[in-house]
Amino acid sequence: MPSQKEFLLSIEAKETDVIFTGDMVGQLSPDNNYDQKVAFEWLKDEIISKK
């Protein structure tokens, strides 16, 4: 299991990974109002930082 720091570094790498971000867009309905930047910030602020 990765440490909190390792997990955060992995998430931050995914934020700028064109393949990862493109996969997310392709999996969501066009009607879905999804902001990936907001989602990453929420994940870091609400989940990772509280561990």
Give the pLDDT confidence of 13-49 residue by residue, as tens digits. Answer: 999 999 988 888 788 888 888 888 999 999 889 888 7
Under the banding of pLDDT at 50, 70 and 90, the label for residue 10 is very high
Q: Is the pTM of this model over 0.85?
A: no
Mean pLDDT within 1-24: 89
For residue 51, what pLDDT is reported? 60
Burial class (CB in 10 A: 0-12, 13-18, 19+), 15: middle
With CA atoms as reference, report the closest residue to 39 among 6, 4, 20. 20
* Number of domain units in the chain: 1
* Full domain range(s) for residue 34: 4-48
